[in-house]
C-alpha cells in the first residue's frame, strides 16, 4: 500500500478528511457507514484487502463523514444534505467530475441523495445493505435508544453486541473484537455520533 496521504476539503468552514488511493481510469468513492477513520481502517486486514482490491481497478476516493474519524464536527449533528455537500466538496477537491458511488449501510442514503442532486456527476450508484424503515416495524422509543447509545458507546459490551448482530462469524475472535471496539471509539464519540 502506498503511504497514507490524508488531505482536507473545505465545506462550509469545516474540514473533511479524504484520501485517494490508486490511479484507475474510473473514479469510485466509498461512502462509509456510521463511523470511519482513514488511518485506523488500514490496520484491519479485511478493510485493507477490500480497499487495495478496489484501488487496483479504480481511482478510489475515501473520506470520513463530518463528525467522524479525522473530519471536523462542525458544532452540531450534521443533516443529511449537509453531509451530501461535504461529499460534493471532497469530489471537487479530488477533481472527480464523473464518479461511481459505492455506499454501505447508512451511507446509502447520503450516496442516493448525492446521485439525485448531482445526476450529471454520478456515473453509477451501488448500495450495499441500505437501511429502510417501515411503518410496520414495532414501536420504537428513539429517546430511549439515544440515551442507551450515549451511555454504552465505547464499551466492549456494546461493541460486542453490534458485532454479534452484524458480523457473527468474527464475534468470537479476540483480535477482531478489540479492533472493532477501537474502531467505534476512534470513529466517533457519543456526542459526535448522535444528535
Q: Cα(165)–Cα(61) distance, rounded to whole angstroms?
A: 28
Looking at residues 25-53, what average pLDDT do you find? 96
Q: Which is more confidently placed, 74 or 2?
A: 74
Q: Cα(71)–Cα(36) distance, rounded to whole angstroms?
A: 10
> Which 3 state secondary structure label does DSSP give 48?
helix
Q: Cα(150)–Cα(152) distance, rounded to whole angstroms?
A: 6
Q: Which is more confidently placed, 75 or 105?
A: 105
| CATH 3.40.50.1820 domain residues, the chain | 1-132
What pLDDT is attached to residue 103? 98
Mean of all residue pLDDT scores within the chain: 91
Q: How buried is residue 28: exposed, middle or buried, by Cβ count under 10 Å (0-12/13-18/19+)? A: buried
Q: What is the CATH number assigned to the segment(s) 1-132?
A: 3.40.50.1820
What pLDDT is attached to residue 144? 84
Task: Inform me whether the pLDDT recorded for 60 exceeds 60.
Answer: yes
> Which 3 state secondary structure label does DSSP give 161?
helix
> Which 3 state secondary structure label does DSSP give 141?
coil
Amino acid at each position: 500500500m502506498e503511504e497514507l496521504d490524508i488531505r482536507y476539503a473545505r465545506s462550509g468552514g469545516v474540514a473533511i478528511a479524504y484520501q485517494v488511493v490508486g490511479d484507475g481510469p474510473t473514479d469510485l468513492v466509498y461512502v462509509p457507514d456510521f463511523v470511519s477513520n482513514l488511518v485506523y481502517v488500514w490496520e484491519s486486514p479485511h478493510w485493507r484487502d477490500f480497499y487495495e482490491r478496489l484501488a487496483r481497478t479504480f481511482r478510489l476516493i475515501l473520506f470520513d463523514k463530518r463528525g467522524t474519524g479525522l473530519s471536523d464536527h462542525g458544532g452540531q449533528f450534521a443533516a443529511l444534505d449537509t453531509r451530501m455537500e461535504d461529499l460534493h466538496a471532497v469530489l471537487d477537491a479530488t477533481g472527480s467530475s464523473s464518479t461511481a458511488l459505492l455506499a454501505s449501510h447508512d451511507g446509502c442514503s447520503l450516496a442516493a441523495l448525492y446521485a439525485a442532486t448531482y445526476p450529471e456527476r454520478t456515473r453509477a450508484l451501488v448500495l450495499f445493505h441500505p437501511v429502510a424503515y417501515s411503518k410496520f416495524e414495532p414501536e420504537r422509543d428513539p429517546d430511549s435508544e439515544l440515551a442507551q447509545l450515549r451511555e454504552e458507546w465505547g464499551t466492549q459490551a456494546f461493541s460486542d453486541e453490534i458485532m454479534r448482530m452484524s458480523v457473527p462469524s468474527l464475534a468470537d475472535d479476540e483480535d477482531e473484537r478489540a479492533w472493532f471496539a477501537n474502531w467505534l471509539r476512534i470513529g466517533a464519540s457519543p456526542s459526535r455520533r448522535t444528535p
